[in-house]
Structure formats: structure tokens, C-alpha cells
A and B are shown apart, each in its own frame.
Chain A
Amino acid sequence: MAEVEVLRAPLVVEYPFTRTTGPVIGAFFTALREGFIVGIRGSDGRVIVPPFEYDPQTSEPLTEIVEVADEGEIVSWAWSGEPLEGQPLDHPFGWALIKLDGADTGFLHVVDGPKEQLRTGVRVKARWAAEREGSINDIEAFEVIA
């Protein structure tokens, strides 16, 4: 039986979700749109960034939104040498958990710069997008500051 050239075609399984945020997550994204970062105070006084709606220990609703700085230190990081479509940058970058000044938890984002600069404890600052819409990508990336 003669063989034919096997067909191939792109197959994309996608869901164009839009999610409502509620007031707490909405406050976080509103702040990003305006160019700053907020977290929320937990039952033990620690500031959680990004904000949780409910306390991780007591499960009570949390209500005190707190502004934090847009710079802080790297707590942990991992290098991403071959970025995938949909990730924040299209050249190699570092994922990092960043403890922003005023926050008590790590905030996940990306650090744009050479791998050699990345180190736990290094200080980084947000590079804001020129046009912001209320998305995590309103921060383009963090950059190492001297």
C-alpha cells in the first residue's frame, strides 16, 4: 500500500477566560494600574503580597490593604534560559520571589538582566510598563539595583 504524506496541523486548545477579581484582588490590580503595589495585613500583623482574601491561619476575611514599596530583595530565584510563549519576557530571564520593602512574603515576578547578577539578597526594583491596564504585566520586570 503506497504511503501518503502524513498531514499535520496546529491544534490549539484555549480558553479565553476573563475572571472577576472581587474587592481585594481588585485593589491589587487597581494599584498596579496606577503604578504601585499593595498587600494586605494578616491576623498576625504580617503584610501579605499579593493580598489574600482570607487569613492563612485563622481563615477570617482580611480587610486592611497596605501599600508596599516597588523595590525589595530577592528571596529565591530560578533561571529561565528558554522562555515559552506567554511568559513575561521573550529572552532569558530569572523568575524570582521578591520580598518588597514593607512586605513579609515573597512576590513572584521576573528579573530582567544577566544571570550573573542574580543572587539571594540582591536588591531589585520594578520597571513599570508605559501603558498599564490592571495586570501583573503592568510591571514589565524587576531590575537589579546597585
Chain B
Amino acid sequence: MSDVVTAPPLTLPDRLSSIDEPVKSIRTPAAVRYTYSPGQAPSEFLYKVAQKQLTGRKCPQCTKVYIPPRETCPTCGVTTLPDIIDLPDVGTVTSFCVVNVQFYGQAMEVPYVGALILIDGSDIPLMHLLQEVDVETVHMGMRVEAVWVDEGDMGPTLESIKYFRPNGEPDADWNSYKDNV
């Protein structure tokens, strides 16, 4: 093993060498403050979420249903998606991640599961949290349902859904989600 390199000792003016507790760290917070606006279609979506209704928008050209919706189709570029489709709050886990690493400022207890959930009737998975489940049992194809927050806490945010949990249905058929993994 090579020698460990250490910094050579400093020569300090008397005013510093007599100090018992030198400064060893400094706080250097960095922040960028934005005002974010999601635009029309996502705002409409969020107002509906506040009423416990998930919605998607359907592209007239490629017929894909997007959730959360945008004004334009990301697949074929059509600039207006007029059809708003009501969707259930039930779907299939297409992919997931078990988080085991605690990081500074994290609110969740580890381990926890982040999952991509394909809501029935939609063509793009939604990312959310899975709870009320043994993390070892989570798998692709698992059927899950939303658990909403209390009435008083509902708002125009996906946090109106506390998390998703298994709903006990048998696993979804691979064909129903193979295009979304």
C-alpha cells in the first residue's frame, strides 16, 4: 500500500495558533427559486384530481391516452388533444424500484417502493409510491389501487393520492402492459 499523503502542517500567526476550536466547516446553501406553471391541460387534470377523478387526454391521430395529459401529443406531435377521458384509479405495476438508501432530508422510511403504474385505459405509466405491501413481493404485473388522502386534504396535486396498494386482483396479462415497460 502506498504512503498516505497528508497536508504539511501550517505556520499560523499567534492570533490563530492560540485558538482551541478552529472553524472546520461552512454552510454553503445553493437554491434556485422558480415559479412553476403546468399550463392548461395539466391544470385541468389537477383540478379533477382534487375531485378524486383521474383523467387522461386522447390523441385523435395515434389514439394514445396520456396521463397526466399535455396539450400536445408527444408521440405524433398533434397540437390539440380535445378528448378528455375519465380513468379509474386502478392500474398495473409496469416497473418499480425498492429504495434502500436513506438520504438527507428524505421523508420516507426505507425500504420503500417507487413504482410506475399503468392506469387502466391509459398508455403511459404514472409514477407514485407503493405502500401496504411487503417490498419483497412487488413485481411487474401487480394490480394496484389508489389510496386517497382525507377529504379535507384533497387538492390539485398528485399528492391527493397518498399511495397505491395491491388490490388483490390476479396479475395483469403481459399483453396488457408489454408496450409500456
Residues of A within 8 A of B (CB): 1, 3-24, 26-27, 29-34, 36, 38, 53, 61, 63-67, 85-86, 134-135
Contacts and interface: CB of A to CB of B under 8 A. Distances in A.
A24 B10 contact: yes
A23 B37 CA distance: 46
Given A4-B40, A7-B38, A27 B33 contact: no
Interface residues of B, number: 38
Interface stretch (B15-23, B135-143, B164-172, B173-181): B15-23
B70 to A, nearest CB: 13
Given A9-B35, A11-B35, A61-B7, A38 B30 contact: no
Interface string B39-54: 1101110110000000
A17 B11 contact: no
A65 B23 CA distance: 15
28 contacts: A4-B40, A6-B43, A7-B37, A7-B46, A7-B156, A8-B36, A10-B35, A10-B36, A11-B35, A12-B33, A13-B31, A13-B32, A16-B105, A17-B28, A17-B29, A23-B7, A27-B22, A29-B26, A34-B16, A53-B7, A61-B8, A65-B10, A65-B12, A65-B16, A66-B13, A85-B33, A86-B31, A134-B23
A77 B10 CA distance: 33
Contacts of A134: 23, 26
Contacts of B44: 4
A20 B7 CA distance: 15
B4 to A, nearest CB: 15
Contacts, number: 120
Contacts of B25: 18-21
B34 A64 contact: no
Contacts of B74: none
Given A13-B32, A17-B30, A18-B28, A29 B10 contact: no
Contacts of A85: 33
A136 to B, nearest CB: 8
Going nearest first, the 7 A-B pairs with the smallest beta carbon separation are: A134-B23, A14-B31, A11-B36, A29-B23, A8-B37, A11-B34, A30-B22
